[in-house]
Amino acid sequence: QVQLQESGPGLVKPSQTLSLTCTVSGGSISSGDYYWSWIRQPPGKGLEWIGYIYYSGSTYYNPSLKSRVTISVDTSKNQFSLKLSSVTAADTAVYYCARNPIGTSCYKLWGQGTLVTVSS
Amino acid sequence: EIVLTQSPGTLSLSPGERATLSCRASQSVSSSYLAWYQQKPGQAPRLLIYGASSRATGIPDRFSGSGSGTDFTLTISRLEPEDFAVYYCQQYGSSPQTFGQGTRLEIK
């Protein structure tokens, strides 16, 4: 069965770039049936959609973060990645990768999440 | 963007009771593209309901969703101990997709 696993630094300094990778196992990111997404959750707060990517490289971002976000895909490694630039303390959150079927944006498959803290 | 407001913020009930959670949208949610998730501490959200009323695979039938337009409801018919958690609604009919702020369901 398909599983998702986030990886990356747990601590990022203010004004720097947050970088995370999601590794897909048990299935191919190139299957064509899904979008691959990033969602975050500040401690004790609700969920915020960041954006998603198709295996071809097409991307869709939340307008509130669009100027700072880049999502990319590496089909050879079965991974997709998130970069968020110019981070502040407000970007401290658990970051989840998730999968949604084409034509819908509800999420049945999630990674376990990784906490990223922005602090000097 | 569509703002989702969930009520109540916290719901205190006992096992065996019926829970009714509300999600109200600031604009009509197209095609009833409304989902409900359950989240327990330290875990990722779990999809319960999609399309406002369709149960996801493996979800017990005590969970049901209803509603359309701007008003949606998640009902848990008889609470089990494992149902006490935080519940979020999500609309995915308009971009950007958005989530509600959550309802905490706690044991009374």
Select the residue of A46, A49, A110 nearest B97 (Cβ to Cβ).
Answer: A49
User: For residue A113, which of A100, A89, A93, A96 has the smallest C-alpha distance?
Assistant: A96
Question: A110: Cβ–Cβ under 8 A, 6 or more apart, which residues?
Answer: A4, A96, A97, A98, A99, B44, B45
Select the residue of A47, A110, A112 nearest B99 (Cβ to Cβ).
Answer: A47
What's the confidence (pLDDT) of residue B30? Answer: 83
Rama region for B92: left / alpha / beta (φ>0; ψ in -120 to 50; rest): alpha
User: For residue B19, which of B100, B101, B86 has the smallest C-alpha distance?
Assistant: B86
> Which tokens sit at A38?
């990033």
Interchain contact, B102 vs A63, CB within 8 Å: no
Q: Is the pLDDT of residue A54 over 80?
A: yes
pLDDT band at B32 (very low <50, low <70, confident <90, very high): confident
Q: Is the pLDDT of residue B31 over 80?
A: no
CB of A105 within 8 Å of a chain B CB? The answer is: yes
Which residue of chain A comes nearest to B35, CA vs CA? A106
What's the confidence (pLDDT) of residue B68? Answer: 93
Using alpha carbons only, how large is chain A's radius of gyration in Å?
A: 13
- Chain A residues near residue B101 by CB distance under 8 angstroms: 45-46
